[in-house]
Structure 1
Amino acid sequence: MPSIFSLIQNENMKIYRRIGTWVMIGLLALATLAGALITKATHKEPENWRAEVASEIKGIEAQLSEGKMSKMYKNHLEQQLKINEYRLEHNIKPVASNSFWGHLVNSADIIALITLFTIIVAAGSVASEFSWGTIKLLLIRPVSRTKILLSKYIAALLFALCMLLFLLVFSAIVGAVIFGIENIHEPYLAYQNGMVVEKNMLFHVMQVYAFNCADLVMMTTFAFMISTVFRNQSLAIGLATFTMFAGSQITMLLAMKFEWAKYLLFANTHLSQYIDGVPPVEGMTMSFSILVLLVYFIVFCSFTWFIFNKRDVAA
């Protein structure tokens, strides 16, 4: 009986034998390089960064003096104020976009492209077996349906992981070549326990990447579920893609009026909002968002497993 590892290996071979997979990798590299070149051409280093930070401090103080804001946004401004004051006091420049670390942090935005590519892979993982008529060949093997389904899902996540590693390494190479590594020892300033602390920039970059993976995992799982339930790759890709792009905007509009919006999926997928942003609904915490995501994840996976195991998929 084939092991789960051999099944995963077989699914990986299916993924990387496709020309489309290598086209995705090429597009990812092109997007990373293009982003760096555009930043290099358009972004200019400020002549006096201390003056800009001082101006930003005055702007924050003016906002705080108005007093018409939520408690969470006020706390956010107060944290930014203390970080900026720490910069001036210890002569630590803000991380510029046209720098090695700035490029690495900005490259995390390209994870949205990886999410789109992984949706395509996950959507076709099960649905394509039906369209090609190979699902019966899988099911007559002495392997449980659970193992078959799990191997396909893990293979899709491994594809996403490989793309993430490629993005990180390639972005580091491009950043070093185009922007240089003169400021590689710059620290990242974070606000913790009521004080400003200096952290390793590499740790911050890894943290940003990790937080962006929440949306990646959830949308991959969602696309995989739609693919399994409806056996239609186009529907899975279309619905997951639409949800990915429109979900956040719809959630933000609802969050402006309804507190229950905090239980929606896209109110919780952007975990980076707890580092350098403000949650859409006051009172939300990192622990709350992780718990909500875990509930959605369990629901998606359970429904996918139930449908695949109970339905006569060979028919």
Structure 2
Amino acid sequence: MFNFWKLVQNENMKIYRRPRTYVMLGIMFALMAAISIITYFVNDAHDASSWNMLYNEASIMFMLITVFTIVIASGSVADEFTSGTIKLLLIRPWTRSKILLSKYVAVLLYALGMVIAMLLFGFILNMVLFGYQDATASEVISPLVTGSIIAYMFQFSVLKYISLVVTTTLAFMLATVFRSGALAIGLSLFLILGVNTFVMLLATLDYKWIDYLLFIHLDLTQYLDHNPMREGMTLGFSFLVLAVYYAIFVGLAWYVFKKRDVAA
């Protein structure tokens, strides 16, 4: 187990010693700061709530974090093949499964770190600008939502992170199968951003097979707002569908990486 976490640490070093990692973080912070500061001056801090700002920014930033994590996940495996360093990894006394898993865990930790950094920065920034207000979720989000806004934001973040994990796993699998970071990034963004554009349209079609499409279930926060895309859908069913897709993505990535010949 100790050796495995040394592998994870090594993968983390690869991620965090690259300038693009900090550029992505800077872009996220700069965008959040711009949204809050512009809103502060436009509304004179009277019409905006710190919690409302945090919720709106989190909704936007989760999409941005998804794009950033897809870039990191796609490069994690594909760059090793492109540069030829994959051979140096495979001659070490570690199994291919452990090497692949260490890369995958490092990418998920990166995504988690970005989410935590985003929430902490957004909370501090908006509390400084707009002040702290006691509020319920029904006041900030929707009259259909009950409970405290803190509990809602926690659930919102957890459900968004689960969707982020599934999306990241898809990108990781594509990079492992095709050995091309650019192709994996392009395909992932097309599937996530392109297809998501038509998700609401697909959800209105009266076909049973649509209930099993990945993209119908990626936004788990639809259940927090009590407004599922398809009538009769439940959170448990969405979890089950995502779990099946997740198992397929992980299985394909593991199988291809185990069987691939890198001697050439």
Choose which of 137, 140, 144 in structure 2 pairs with 1:188.
137
Note closer, same or farther for the CA distance 1:187–1:254 as it changes in structure 2 (3 Å cut). closer
Q: Could you tell me whether the CA contact under 8 Å between 1:119 and 1:237 is conserved in 2? A: yes
- Percent sequence identity over matched residues? 47
Alpha-carbon offset, residue 279 of structure 1: 2.0
Matched, 1:107 2:57: yes
CA contact (8 A) 2:76 2:103 kept: yes
1:144 aligns with 2:95: yes
Structure 1, unpaired ranges of 5+: 47-95, 191-195
Tell whether the 8 Å contact from 2:50 to 2:130 is kept in structure 1 after alignment.
yes
Amino acid at match of 1:154: V
Query: Which whole-Å CA distance do the structure 2 matches of 1:313 and 1:177 have between them?
Result: 53
Contact 2:45 2:129 in 1 (8 A): no
- Name whichever of 275-284 and 115-124 sits farther off: 275-284
How big is each residue's C-alpha offset from its partner over 1:248-286, in whole Å with a ceiling of 9 and x where there is no partner?
223332222223212101100111111225222211111
Query: Could you tell me which of 117, 129, 134 is aligned with 2:80?
Result: 129
Tell me how large the CA RMSD over aligned residues is. Answer: 2.1
Q: What does residue 215 of structure 1 align with?
A: 163
Residues 229 and 307 in structure 1, CA contact (< 8 A), matched pair in contact too: yes
Equivalent runs, 1:1-315 vs 2, <5 Å: 3-43=3-43, 98-109=48-59, 110-181=61-132, 183=133, 185-189=134-138, 199-257=147-205, 258-276=207-225, 278-315=227-264
Q: Is the 8 A contact 1:268 1:292 kept in 2?
A: yes
1:189 Cα offset (Å): 3.6
Structure 2 unpaired stretches of 5+: none
The residue aligned with 1:53 is none
Count of matched residue pairs: 259
CA contact (8 A) 1:28 1:113 kept: yes
Deviations 1:91-113 (A, max 9, x none): xxxxx7x2111122112211110
Question: Structure 1 residue 243: deviation in Å?
Answer: 1.2
Q: Which amino acid aligns with 2:172?
A: F
TM-score, normalised to structure 2's length?
0.92
Shift of the alpha carbon at 1:44? 7.4
Question: CA contact under 8 A between 2:75 and 2:175: conserved in structure 1?
Answer: yes
Structure 2 SS opposite 1:156? helix
Q: Is the 8 A contact 1:252 1:280 kept in 2?
A: yes
* Contact 2:62/2:160, CA 8 A, preserved across alignment: yes
TM-score (norm 1): 0.77
Question: Residue type of the partner of 2:56?
Answer: N
Separation of aligned partners in 1, 2:146 and 2:85: 55
Residues 303 and 16 (structure 1 numbering): CA distance in 2 closer, same or farther, change over 3 Å? same
Checking the alignment, whether the CA contact within 8 Å between 1:251 and 1:264 is kept in structure 2 is no
Q: Which of 1 and 2 has greater Rg?
A: 1
Residues 14 and 197 (structure 1), Cα distance of their counterparts in 2 relative to 1, 3 Å cut = closer
SS where residue 275 of structure 1 aligns? coil
Alpha-carbon offset, residue 42 of structure 1:
4.2
How far residue 293 of structure 1 moved from its aligned partner, in angstroms, is 0.4
Q: Does the aligned pair in 2 maintain the 1:251–1:261 contact within 8 Å? A: no
Retained in 1: the 8 A contact 2:39–2:45? no
CA contact (8 A) 2:137 2:152 kept: yes
Q: Structure 2: how far apart are the matches of 1:186 and 1:256?
A: 34
Deviations 1:227-261 (A, max 9, x none): 00000000001111111111222333222222321
